[in-house]
Amino acid sequence: MSVFACLVFIVNSPNMILFGVNYLFRSILPQAIILLSKVGGFIIEMKEVEIRTASVNDVAAIAAVLAASFLEYKSLYTEKAYAATTPSEEVIKNRFAEGKVWVAAVEETIVGTVSVVPQNESLYIRSMAVLPEARGHRIGEQLLSEVERYAVVKGFRQLTLSTTPFLNRAIRLYEKFGFAPSDTGDLYGTPLITMEKELND
């Protein structure tokens, strides 16, 4: 049986017994994740995450991922800063001419995204997001790894990004990947932290 075979728990009432079979979790590939959906109960299954270059056909899905990912933090942004953080489809479409855009997809459903902009010898990372229901499965790590591979191949010497101090999960991920704070600022009145990572030759 494939390592992507699913582990299924079906719950029809609080009194039912949970049935499940563990299919060698320790051997499942790193890109496998657990997604939750509700189809007459709770179904947990393993799916492979594909990190791929985005196309203009993905614009609407990318905009939706950004909107859903930052919605819980909306009250912490100023109105203009939140609008800049969750750009419109037209803005996202224009970004394809500015730099590379990637998406993370599970069975053709886009659950994450990230894009970059070259700035001399530095590659600036922006609009990185993962849907709330898909978090906790290392999709952000896979997106960052793809960005770093691209940067190394293209000869960039540094990765940079900006984040806000209240995005604690994101900051922990960046620190895990070797980013360190280098400056502070603001985006339309919302505080920003600039983080950098030097790339080895």
Give the pLDDT score at 38: 33
Higher-pLDDT residue of 17, 51: 51
Alpha helix locations (H) across the chain? 59-70, 79-85, 89-95, 139-153, 168-176
Give the pLDDT score at 3: 35
SS3 55: coil
Give the pLDDT score at 42: 27
Closest by CA to 104, choosing from 70, 71, 72, 128, is 128
In the chain, what percentage of residues exceed pLDDT 70? 77
Q: Does domain 50-198 have CATH number 3.30.360.30?
A: no
Any idea of the CA torsion for 183, 186, 187, 192, to the nearest 10 degrees? 50
In the chain, what percentage of residues exceed pLDDT 90? 73
What one-letter code names the amino acid at 58?
Answer: D
pTM score of the predicted model:
0.77
In the sheet with 32-38, reading across from the earlier edge strand, the strands are 32-38, 42-53, 101-106, 109-119, 122-130, 158-163, 190-198, 180-187
Long-range own/partner contacts, residues 14-18 (CB < 8 A, 24 or more apart): none
Residue 39's pLDDT band, with cuts at 50, 70 and 90, is: very low
Give the pLDDT score at 47: 72
Q: What is the pLDDT of residues 182-192, one digit of tens each?
A: 999 999 999 99
Give the pLDDT score at 23: 30
Would you list the domain boundaries of the chain? 50-198
Give the pLDDT score at 201: 62
Residue 200's pLDDT band, with cuts at 50, 70 and 90, is: confident
Q: What is the pLDDT of residues 133-158, one digit of tens each?
A: 999 889 999 999 999 999 999 999 99
Backbone φ/ψ region at 77: left (φ over 0), alpha (ψ -120 to 50), beta:
beta
Q: How far apart are CA 140 and CA 159, in angstroms?
A: 16
Q: What is the pLDDT of residues 47-103, one digit of tens each?
A: 789 999 999 999 999 999 999 999 999 999 999 999 999 999 999 999 999 999 999
Give the pLDDT score at 176: 96
Residue written as token pair 């980013």:
179
Q: Which residues is 158 bridged to in the sheet? A: 122, 198
pLDDT at 165 over 70: yes
SS3 69: helix
The first and second tokens of residue 84, run together, are 């800049």
Higher-pLDDT residue of 138, 26: 138
The first and second tokens of residue 45, run together, are 């299954």
Q: Which class for 11: exposed (0-12), middle (13-18), buried (19 or more C-beta within 10 A)?
A: middle
